Amino acid sequence: MDTYRDARPGGATQLAGGANPAAGGAIQPAGGANPAAGAAIRARGLVKRYGAARAVDGLELTVPRGGVFGLLGPNGAGKTTTIRILATLTRPDAGTAEVMGCDVAAEPRAVRRQIGVTGQFATIDGTLTGTENLVLQGRLLGLSRAAAQNRAGALLAEFGLADAARRAVQSYSGGMRRRLDLACRLVVPPALLFLDEPTTGLDPQSRIAVWATVRELVGQGTTVLLTTQYLDEADQLSDGIAVLDRGRVIAEGTPGQLKEAAGAGVLRVRLADPADRGLAAQLLAAALRVPVAPDSDPAVLTARIAGTGQAGDRHGSAAVAWAIARLAGDGIGVAAFSLGQPSLDEVFLALTGHATSSSTTGSTTGHTTTGGAADSAAGSEPEEAAG
């Protein structure tokens, strides 16, 4: 796959061809839709300004029908603003967007008929009970009273809210409200569902339940656009991902491609003899061209492996294997080593050159993968030397 670095000033780097070829024609657009529009979402040059700031700044995005598409990005990247534009909740200052074949500016009602939105701007009524909220939704969507009651009961059970069904929502915990909000969007499953950080604040059990619900929905033909700050969530659910930064898409691909491009992660080497640590650190640093740090365990060294996405640096694991072999070649015994997955912060750092705003305390020991030329030598040497 290609490098990320060319893409940063301009458009996004396309890592995947068709990230999600499945379910191409699973959902028929509502009447009046453009039959040629195959994508669930097609945004071109979207701009949204707030004062002098651009929350969305020339966003280009195509989301195929069917499956889950993840929008990732640090705080303030423009994820929620993008969803608000696509869901016709706010108008863009420039650019165009089609949602399920309908133009958001020209046909907002047709768009709204096909979508559901939930997340950071939840709209459930706190004075009503869980059941009443769901029944109200069902009635608004044209269900009979009996059908709405049935559907409400089924959803309350599915979302673990049956015991709280008769309580006013204002007495619900934050996680319960989120679950109810999601349930409200599923009374009649939409063709396209926007989920804006659906699991933020949920306990692990509830997160997994939401993931199961999303998968089930997708199995029934709904397309889901998901925003999340959690790479594991995007990893679990998404067929394709776009990474936003400063109102633009800066990278696209599958979860695996993003992680690969962000680097292999953290290498941890346990030496057979702690006395070798000084020499081992020098050899590893020379081999990997990254800072190598002593761990609090006297036999352990750690290094952040930078994958630059450059040709010659495709395989962080190959570079690591070569470096470990160098230790052995110099008579240094390695008891164990592990190569961890990059965290979401590392992915952001590699792609955007800055950490997520929620994680500025992370120690990166002066090494950043900003896509600068300084990294280009690091990856090529091990492969050449190994050959």
Q: 266 burial class (0-12, 13-18, 19+ CB within 10 angstroms)?
A: middle
Closest distance to ligand ATP from the beta carbon of 231 (Å): 14
The region of 14-22, 61-69, 78-86, 165-173 touching ligand ATP under the rule CB under 6 A is 78-86
For ligand ATP, give the closer residue by CB, 310 or 343: 343
By a kind-dependent CB cut-off of 5 to 8 A, residue 76 interacts, out of ligand ATP, Mg ion, none, with: ligand ATP
Inter-axis angle of helices 130-140 and 145-158, nearest 10:
130
By a kind-dependent CB cut-off of 5 to 8 A, residue 209 interacts, out of Mg ion, ligand ATP, none, with: none
The region of 75-83, 208-216, 263-271, 332-340 touching ligand ATP under the rule CB under 6 A is 75-83
By a kind-dependent CB cut-off of 5 to 8 A, residue 275 interacts, out of ligand ATP, Mg ion, none, with: none
Quick check: 64 and 100 in contact, CB under 8 A?
no
For ligand ATP, give the closer residue by CB, 80 or 352: 80
Closest distance to Mg ion from the beta carbon of 196 (Å): 6
C-alpha 40/C-alpha 109 separation (Å) is 16
For Mg ion, give the closer residue by CB, 78 or 138: 78
For ligand ATP, give the closer residue by CB, 73 or 138: 73
3-state DSSP helix/strand/coil % of the chain, to nearest 5: 40, 25, 40
Quick check: 104 and 89 in contact, CB under 8 A?
no
Quick check: 351 and 243 in contact, CB under 8 A?
yes
Identified binder of ligand ATP from the candidate list 34, 75, 123, 365, rule CB under 6 A: 75
Identified binder of ligand ATP from the candidate list 7, 15, 77, 327, rule CB under 6 A: 77
Q: Is 73 in the site for ligand ATP (CB under 6 A)?
A: yes
Closest distance to Mg ion from the beta carbon of 197 (Å): 6
Q: Is 67 in the site for ligand ATP (CB under 6 A)?
A: no
Closest distance to Mg ion from the beta carbon of 141 (Å): 26
Identified binder of ligand ATP from the candidate list 13, 62, 80, 228, rule CB under 6 A: 80
For Mg ion, give the closer residue by CB, 80 or 199: 80
H or E element in which residue 85 lies: helix 79-86
Q: What is the pairing mode between strands 39-50 and 115-118?
A: unpaired
By a kind-dependent CB cut-off of 5 to 8 A, residue 257 interacts, out of Mg ion, ligand ATP, none, with: none
C-alpha 245/C-alpha 8 separation (Å) is 10
Instruction: Identify the residue whose tokens are 């292999």.
Output: 264
Amino acid found at 356: T
C-alpha 58/C-alpha 264 separation (Å) is 31
Tokens (6 digits) for 305: 């492996």
List residues bridging with 117 in a β-sheet: 194
Closest distance to ligand ATP from the beta carbon of 46 (Å): 12
Instruction: Identify the residue whose tokens are 């423009």.
Output: 78
Of 19-58, binders to ligand ATP (CB under 6 A) are: 50, 53, 55
C-alpha 195/C-alpha 193 separation (Å) is 6
Residues in contact with ligand ATP by CB under 6 A are 50, 53, 55, 73, 75-81, 120
